[in-house]
Amino acid sequence: MFLKRGEEREVKFILSEEDFSLVDRNLKRIVEPGTFQIMIGAASDDIRLQTKVAIK
């Protein structure tokens, strides 16, 4: 999404369990338990928002 300077919009991200999955040695998708950090920013060195999500 591109915003003009000064423009604001509300954005929602809906993350599913699959979004936290990885592919194991048998090429099957698995979700490992743990804490994942989600970061949103203008660039990787300009993080504006962040949160952590725990997967059990």
pLDDT tens per residue, range 8-49: 999 899 999 899 999 999 999 999 999 999 999 989 999 999
Domain containing 10: what range?
Answer: 1-56
Q: Is the pLDDT of residue 1 over 90?
A: no
Tally of domains within the chain: 1
CA–CA gap between residue 12 and residue 27 (Å, rounded):
31
Question: pTM to 2 decimals?
Answer: 0.67
Closest among 34, 26, 30 to 55, alpha carbons compared: 34
39, 47 Cβ separation under 8 angstroms: yes
Residue 39 confidence (pLDDT): 96
In the chain, what's the furthest Cα-to-Cα distance? Answer: 48
